[in-house]
Amino acid sequence: MTTVALKADERIDQLYSKTIQIIQSPTVFSFSLDAVLLGAFAQVPKAAKTRTVDLCAGNGAVGLFVSSTTRGHITEVELQPRLADMAQRSIQLNDLDDQLSVLNVDLLTVTETIPKDSVDVVLCNPPYFKDQPASQKNPNPHLAIARHEITANLAQIMAVTSDLLKMNGKAYFVHRPERLDDLFRTMAQHRLAPKRLRFVHPKADREANMVLIEMIKDGKPNGVRVLPPVIVYQADGSYGEEVHQLLYGN
């Protein structure tokens, strides 16, 4: 792998199941399990002509995780310059410059660079929480933007997703179950039909705290499939078999 310079607060973490190394920063941004699960859930065509866009890319984790499943190009779209720089250096670190690129732009303007109706797959790990005046936000602006809909709300992100996708193109999101009503409503408003759902539970006896969603542009209504759940931890606190394999391999 290529050697890259790290800033004082950065470290390199490895997803051992994929030999992918990613630059992380506890004071700016670190990917978490939701990014790993989204990367595993997404079904990106293998063909070299496939065009994938990762919105709200952060440090580029989701795009890097799916890079081994396709020969197509992946564009990481990230608003914050520091995170975009981390993503770019992680791409260099993994010698993937020919396959991945970073756009440091506001996702609301991304169709000025990437043509509408030109993308096969959109990936997105968006901010989960509405930007409500009374809501308590992280004092760290990097983390606040990543977690709250400060720079783009769900409806705007869905509109951009639909604009980018070709007819019958697919999008893969991870979000919170309590936002499903918002998700389904905004998807319908922007020609996106849900096709697969998978709920993620911290433990088998706990309520789901994440949901993975596959949607298709201009897809037929109904026909939603609910897949078996992901159980993150076993009763003894160790990772469940599936999650352990995603993180560490066999």
144: CATH: 3.40.50.150
What tens digit of pLDDT does each residue of 60-109 get?
999 999 999 999 999 999 999 999 999 999 999 999 999 999 999 999 99
Crossing angle of helices 241-248 and 33-41, in 10° steps, is 90
3-state secondary structure of 163: helix
Indicate whether 9 belongs to any domain: no
Give how far Cα 113 sits from Cα of 58, 169, 215, 248, Å: 19, 19, 23, 37
Indicate whether 250 belongs to any domain: no
Question: Tokens 């978490």 — which residue?
Answer: 32
Residues of the chain scoring pLDDT < 70? 129-151
| CA–CA gap between residue 117 and residue 43 (Å, rounded) | 19
Indicate whether 1 belongs to any domain: no
Range of the domain at 209: 32-235
Q: What is the pLDDT of residue 17?
A: 86
Burial of 145 (0-12, 13-18, 19+ CB in 10 A): buried
Q: What is the pLDDT of residue 184?
A: 96
Q: What is the pLDDT of residue 137?
A: 47
What's the structural domain count of the chain?
1
Give how far Cα 50 sits from Cα of 32, 74, 183, 209, Å: 26, 9, 26, 31
Indicate whether 6 belongs to any domain: no
| β-bridge partners, 230 | 200
Q: What is the pLDDT of residue 15?
A: 84
Q: What is the pLDDT of residue 130?
A: 65
Indicate whether 224 belongs to any domain: yes
Cβ atoms of 217 and 191 closer than 8 Å: yes
| CA–CA gap between residue 37 and residue 42 (Å, rounded) | 9
Give how far Cα 2 sits from Cα of 21, 64, 164, 225, Å: 11, 15, 32, 42
The token pair at 154 is 């769900």
Find the farthest-apart pair of alpha carbons in the chain and give their distance in angstroms, rounded.
50
Q: Write the DSSP symbol of residue 236.
A: T
| β-bridge partners, 200 | 210, 230
Q: Write the DSSP symbol of residue 137.
A: -
Question: Model pTM?
Answer: 0.93
